[in-house]
Structure formats: structure tokens, C-alpha cells
Amino acid sequence: MKDKRILLCLCRMGGHEMKYVEEAFSDNWVVPLGPNVDGFEHDLERFLASGPSPTRLDSPEPGFTPTKEKRAVALSAGTAAIHLGLIGCGVEPGDEVMVQSFTFSASANPVRYLGATPVFVDSEPETWNMDPVLLDRAIADRAAKTGRKPKAIVPVCLYGMPAKTDEILAVAKKWEIPVVEDAAEALGSRYRGRCCGSFGRYGALSFNGNKMITTSGGGALVCEDDEAARRIKFLATQARESYPYYQHEEIGYNYRMSNICAGIGRGQMEVLDIHIAHHRHVQQLYREMLGGIKGITLHDNPSPVFDSNFWLCAATLDEGTHIAGENDAYKNCNASTAVSAHTDSKPDAAVEALRIALDSANIEARPLWKPMHLQPVFASSPAYVNGVSESLFRRGICLPAGPWVSDEDVERIVATIASSIRI
């Protein structure tokens, strides 16, 4: 009998969601907005304001800082959240926005939606996120070259790992530039005991089908206070003015979450802590099992102040590590796809060979994100690089980590990796 396929990450749903969805249908709230939307936003606000994770009660110095004033606005997508956050920061055509290069394109696309230019900043090697030192230098250089400061900074909590938030916020404060924190992959991740997504002027969350919880699709923008939340809700609801007829004085967007999707989200919030605990359990299994295998290094919390949700578990092949079949890896890929896998920048043959070996064992794995400064669509955008993200992209791979992944699955994944490595 063929082994089941082990998926990279797919959110799990049960009976928790149905009571909210059925209630929406019985009350005929099958539209954007509604009681579930309000309830989901309140659920998110309570979670964001909560104390340290039950699994990390030893909140390190300088200690837990509660989040009391943040407000959540439920939206149709995490990308919509970043878009509205940038608008809230005053980004306009011709402006520049500092964006982490090592990320998914949704972090950068909204900058272009606004007619602005993303300026990409490379990563530091510990968290794989925006390098604060390089960010500071890049802002200084942009100010010198253009005569004005960038309008916003978009750091990312990649794969759920918190960025070096203190340092990035210090740079933002120094230059008086607002931060839109892309925490799309980091719901439940914490930095110094405080939830990611709650540090910047705005924070973007995602509830896509592969995230920590799902609303089937959707996202939320975390706002600094009631006034900011009201403004974002107004823009997300087609910017309709308060008249008894349709009056529009600004450009608006159809970005609000539906009552049905929010009902799914409310049910998912009831199992969020369970999902986070499972992802961290899977990471611990990888820690234990990969620890004795030479040639591969698991990406992990650099220190106790970082508390990732491990939305995805990621690893890198050490330089000099070889994988069985790597000489033919891209030849096999070309034979099985309509488009050649060869571009100017791609993962090393060893990484592709490992992905193929896992795929042959019905285990889904993927390369790390290809940095934005290497993407053809952003070829004209300025970039400040140090080689970190390019090296990670060449040598990195994402391993299954979702709620469906069992202890036995991790054993089989690690055994497949071990049998493929040729030092």
C-alpha cells in the first residue's frame, strides 16, 4: 500500500467552526461584516494582549510588555492588510518603502500597488530576517541619494521566527519612520513574551489555508488604537461616507472579511494554542532527530527572547554536503515540467535532489523563499544585500510541520533525509 503523502503545512479544522458558521446562516448574515467579524476581531485582540505563551513562562528580561491598546481589523487577505497598513503610513506614488528581501512576494507587492518603490534589505544569519545594521545604512544611503526618507519599513517574521525587533524599532525611531510588521506567518510567535504583529504602527496577519489558523482565506491588520482601526475599517469598506445614500470622497477597497469566514476563524481561535503547541512539538522532534545527522542544520530560536511558532520547520544543508542523485537533479526536473527550472539563481543541486528524494517518498518539501531582490519583477528596485538570503536560498529547505504531521511522520522524514545525505 502506498504511503500517505506528508504535506508541508495545511491547517486543520474540526467541529469548533460549525457552530459559528451555522449561526451565521440561521441569522442570514451571509455577507461581509456581521457578529462573527466583530467577535473574531475581539478574539484576536485578546490573544495579542495575552501574556507569555504557556510553553514559555520564563519570559526573559526586560520582561513581558502587555499590549492593551491594539485593535484588529479583519480583512480579506494578509496582503490587503499590508496594503492598508502602508496607506495608513501615508505611502504614495513616488515614495520608497524599506522591505525585507527574504520573504514571499506579498510583502512587497502592495508597495507597487501604491505606485511606490520597494527598497530591499537583506537578512542577518541568526533569525534570517531583516538586518537592522544594514537597514540603518540603507536608509542613510536612500536619504542621501533621494533627499528624503523612506515612508515605511516592512520587516517580516519569516517562517514564524521573530525578527530582531528591538534593533529594528530603534532604527525606525532614529529615522522617525513607521513600521508595518509582516507577521503573516507568525501568529502565536513572541518576542520577549509579546506577540508578533503588535510591535509596529501596524501589524499584518494572514489566515490563508496553510497558516497557523485559517478562515479559508483572510487576514487582519493590527492597529495601534481605536482611531487607526476606524480609519482602516472605513477604507476597507469602500470608503463609504456616513450619508443615507452612497457618498464617496476617497478611494476605498472591498477588503473586509465575510461573516462566514470570520465564523471559521472564531472556531479556529479555540484551537490556536493546540496548533501552536503541535508545531513546536514537531520542531522539538526535528531538533532531537536531526541533531545527530551530519550535513544538515535546523533553523531554530537564536536565544530565549525569540519564541517562534515554527509555522514551517526549515533547515539548511551545510556547505560541502552532497545528496544522492544531485548530478541529475535538475535534469530530472526538466524532464517532468513544461518550464525549465534553470534561472539565474536557484537552489543548489543538492537541495533539489533532497526535495526530489522526499517527494519520491510522498513527503512534500520546498526550497526557501527566493529573495525579492533576485525576482525579475523587482529587477529595477534598489537592494542592499550582504549575501545572507542568497546563501540561505541556495542551501535551504522547508520540512513538513502542520497539524497533520505525526511523530511517526517526522521519523520517516528524517530517515529519508539521512539515507539521502552523502558527506
Residue 208 — φ and ψ, nearest 5°?
-65, 165
pLDDT in tens, 248-296: 999 999 999 999 999 999 999 999 999 999 999 999 999 999 999 999 9
Extended beta strands in 87-232, E state: 96-100, 117-121, 152-154, 180-182, 190-191, 194-195, 202-206, 219-223
User: What confidence tier does 337 reach under pLDDT thresholds 50, 70, 90?
Assistant: low
Q: Is the pLDDT of residue 332 over 90?
A: no
Indicate if 258 and 283 belong to the same structural domain: no
| Residues 350 and 223 grouped into a single domain | no
CATH at residue 365: 3.90.1150.10
Domain that holds residue 393: 273-422
| Structural contact between residues 196 and 162, judged by C-beta atoms closer than 8 angstroms | yes
Q: 4 lies in a domain?
A: no
Read off the pLDDT of each residue in 117-134 and give the average, rounded to a whole number: 98
Give a yes or no: residue 374 inside a domain: yes
Tens-place pLDDT, residues 33-64: 789 999 999 999 999 998 666 554 444 444 54
Summarize the confidence of residues 315-320 as an average pLDDT. Answer: 97
Q: What integer is the mean pLDDT of 179-196?
A: 98
Q: Mean per-residue pLDDT for 379-387?
A: 98
Q: What span, in angstroms and rounded, lies between the C-alpha atoms of 267 and 271?
A: 7
Per-residue pLDDT, 60: 43
The mean pLDDT value of the chain amounts to 92
pLDDT score at 161: 98
Among the residue ranges 47-61, 157-171, 354-368, 401-415, the one predicted with the least confidence is 47-61
Task: State the helix-helix crossing angle for 132-146 and 165-175, rounded to 10 degrees.
Answer: 20
* 303 and 172 co-located in one domain: no
Domain count of the chain?
2
Average pLDDT for residues 358-372, to the nearest whole number?
A: 97
Across the range 204-217, mean pLDDT stands at: 94
Q: DSSP character for 199?
A: S
Last residue of a domain, one of 249, 272, 295: 272
